[in-house]
């Protein structure tokens, strides 16, 4: 069993896509074992996305992710890191496969509705960033 961090970004929350995203997780055997809605500060966003520091999109990305409420979730399932990445689709929605969340709902390479950890190492860091051990249902 594997865990990953999923986020519905401010564009997804603002466009009332929380239910749409969660429906797809539940339909694909990804179990929500922790969940919260919150707003990130700019400093928290900078720390969360530290891996992208120095890239041209870093400033815009941290500004965007701290611009409104997000929903953070921990998903559990077999091979869930890779399976959830596949459900999201490519970072650039124009290159994302048909039927993926980003292909259907993203409007921009930055405003792409969802985030998902990309490896076991990043999942461990990202889950620990948002959740402590008392916040899981099991
Ligand atoms: P990922 O979310 O598919 O893992 P990353 O490369 O980790 O993609 O980038 C993190 C986030 O930064 C993306 O989801 C997107 O919101 C934003 N981003 C990535 N590349 C660009 C870009 O070229 N221009 C603007 N924003 C970008
Ligand atoms: Mg990434």
Convert the pLDDT of each residue in 14-65 to its tens digit.
999 999 999 999 999 999 999 999 999 999 999 999 999 999 999 999 999 9
Could you name the CATH architecture of 2-129?
A: 2-Layer Sandwich (3.30)
Per-residue pLDDT of 99-131, as tens digits, reads 999 999 999 999 999 999 999 999 999 999 999
Q: Which of 56, 88, 101, 110 to mutate to test the pocket of ligand 1 (most atoms within 8 A of CB)?
A: 110
Cα 137 to ligand 1 centre (Å):
30
- CA-nearest residue, atom 26 of ligand 1: 110
- Tell me how far CA of residue 42 lies from CA of 59, 71, 109, in angstroms: 10, 16, 20
Domain layout of the chain by residue ranges: 2-129
Q: Which residues contact 12 (CB under 8 A, 6 or more apart)?
A: 18, 21, 71, 105, 113, 114
């Amino acid at each position: 069993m594997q865990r990953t961090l999923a986020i519905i970004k401010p564009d997804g929350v603002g466009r009332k896509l929380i239910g749409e995203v969660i429906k797809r997780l539940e339909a694909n055997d990804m179990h929500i074992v922790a969940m919260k809605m919150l707003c990130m500060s700019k400093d928290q966003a900078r720390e969360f996305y530290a891996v992208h520091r120095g890239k041209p999109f870093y400033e815009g990305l941290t500004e965007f992710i701290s611009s409104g409420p997000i929903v953070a979730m921990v998903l559990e399932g077999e091979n869930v890191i890779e399976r959830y990445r596949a459900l999201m689709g490519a970072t650039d929605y124009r290159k994302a496969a048909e039927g993926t969340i980003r292909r259907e709902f993203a409007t921009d390479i930055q405003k792409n509705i969802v985030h998902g950890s990309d490896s076991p190492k990043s999942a461990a860091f990202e889950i620990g960033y948002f959740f402590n051990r008392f916040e899981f249902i099991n």
